[in-house]
Amino acid sequence: MKKDDLTDIIENRFLSAIKDGSLLKPGDRVLAGISGGPDSVMLAALLGKFKEDLKISTVLIHVNHNLRARESLSDEAFTRDYASKLGLEFVLKSINPREYSKKMKLSLETASRVLRYKAFDEALCETGANIIATAHHLDDLVETMLFRIFKGAGVSSLLAMAPSSRNIIRPLLFFEKNDIMEWLAKNRVEYRSDMSNLDLQFDRNFIRNRIIPVIEERFPDFRMKMLGLYNIVHDEEEVWEELLKKLEPSKTMKSGRMIINKKNLDVGEKGSRAILKRFLHRELKNYSDYSFNPDTALIEKTLEFLSPVSGNKVIFNNGSLRIISSYDSLIIDKTVKKFPNKSKYVRIRGLVCFQYGDFRLTAEKISGKPAIESLNQPVKNSCVFNAEMLEGFTIRAKQDGDRFSLPGSGTKKIKDFFIDEKIGMEQREQSFIIEEKHGRIITFYIPGYGFRVSADFYVKPPARNAVRISVA
């Protein structure tokens, strides 16, 4: 085939993919990722070549992952020069996935992907671009589908990528790698080779370099068969999405956490269970911004806790995402609200305002018999306690074994109080303690519940000094 024929065929396919898929519209400003590898180099070249036909503007972004020392710097220089040759704007971002993977307990691959897309989002704001373009192609799609099959992910996860999702487009998604390499060769376009793609410690590299060649030897057209499977799942997924809409009212977002009301879910029939599995899979992926792809074992395990049950249980915790069963709720969160490592001492005087963790509090000293007698007026998120013998108090995080005093005599563990009152884990983790200098608990606070004062510190006649403490 002549160079011009091949070039025309591939470039026409590129334009058709954009127009038929409505990937871009006139006036779009595209932020296209360029690593220096063959795929992203071809994408950059085609976006630059057809910017007038498509009536778009393009900015190239290179993200230096700082994983390959001098090679990373060479990639950086190559992409900058290539952008200049194409007459396109260029943005450089630098990330540190090794440090991030250790901090967040993620694989290096996942950490790189998360930070890369964060860099893209930053660049969107800085450049005024509204669309991100990546150079994923059919071989990438097939590798990801196989990867997810081997990891035991659900059927819907086989829709690993789409030509368009949110503000990301993949114009080369249905191009085979061979198409890309032939276009580059015919047009004598230079590119960079990343030797880390041969490192078999990474699962995707192992699939690409060891597993796929064996499959291809026996089944030469397997990529087209996998694409056929992808299209079948895609069509079926549209039907599932309609069924999933009825579960939308069961979920709410609160303080960065997703809370699913179990009472709104039907876990009985087989059909209902299948819908719930897909619902859980979708919500976990969406909540994690696609950095976490739950396998079928986790979905099955979570499904066991979708009926209302007593108590709190952490179903899953990988250090960056948790799933908690808490009475009538299923809670999905990324981080736990942390209190300061040190406790805080507050001296009692007229009126004092202070901060503890994310809470803003006020403590007001109340003196004299008339003032004390007026304390029976309840105030939301506040309590009053006897301050006859107190100069101040300490506020701290809850600890195992904490007890408060009961009317009459005796004490009770705060943990047991939580169980009796069916206090969810979300509330427990945000509770705090106020104690006097000898370690006796004066009161403790539970978000959404309020304060509980120890009987030893009830305000009773002839008390003439009290403190009202409130959470803003």
Domain ranges of the chain: 3-135+170-220, 230-333, 344-471
Comparing 291 with 382, the larger pLDDT belongs to: 382
Q: How confident is the model at residue 336 (pLDDT cuts 50, 70, 90)?
A: low
Whether the Cβ atoms of residue 348 and residue 391 lie closer than 8 Å to each other: yes
Topology (CATH level 3) of domain 3-135+170-220: Rossmann fold (3.40.50)
Torsion of CA 307, 311, 312, 315, to 10 degrees: -50
Q: What is the pTM of this model?
A: 0.64
What distance separates the 2 farthest-apart alpha carbons in the chain? Answer: 103
DSSP 336: P
User: What letter represents residue 64's amino acid?
Assistant: N
Helix ranges (DSSP H) in 134-221: 138-150, 177-186, 203-206, 212-218
Neighbours of 260 (CB within 10 A): 21
Phi, psi of 381 (to 5 degrees): 55, 35
Report pLDDT digits (tens) over 35-79.
999 999 999 999 999 999 999 999 999 999 998 888 899 999 999
pLDDT reading at 376 higher than 60: no
Element (H, E) at 443: strand 441-446
Give the per-residue pLDDT at 202. 82
* Residue 452 CB contacts under 8 Å (≥ 6 apart), including other chains: 383, 404, 417, 443, 444, 446
Spatial distance between the Cα atoms of 105 and 99, rounded to a whole number of angstroms: 10
| CATH code, 230-333 | 3.30.465
Whether the Cβ atoms of residue 62 and residue 76 lie closer than 8 Å to each other: yes
Whether the Cβ atoms of residue 60 and residue 29 lie closer than 8 Å to each other: no
Average pLDDT over residues 315-341: 81
Report pLDDT digits (tens) over 92-138.
999 999 999 888 877 888 888 889 999 999 999 999 999 999 999 99
Spatial distance between the Cα atoms of 453 and 443, rounded to a whole number of angstroms: 4
Give the per-residue pLDDT at 442. 96
Give the per-residue pLDDT at 6. 80
Q: CA-based angle 289:295:301, to the nearest 5?
A: 110
Report pLDDT digits (tens) over 424-457.
877 888 899 999 999 999 999 998 889 999 999 9
* Residue 191 CB contacts under 8 Å (≥ 6 apart), including other chains: 36, 37, 38, 41, 184
Q: Choose the weakest-confidence range: 143-147, 213-217, 276-280, 425-429.
A: 425-429
Structure tokens at 328: 């009538």
Whether the Cβ atoms of residue 188 and residue 45 lie closer than 8 Å to each other: no
The sign of the dihedral angle between the CA atoms of 452, 457, 461, 463 is: negative
Give the per-residue pLDDT at 270. 61
Whether the Cβ atoms of residue 468 and residue 364 lie closer than 8 Å to each other: yes
Average pLDDT over residues 463-468: 88
Give the per-residue pLDDT at 272. 83
Give the per-residue pLDDT at 240. 86
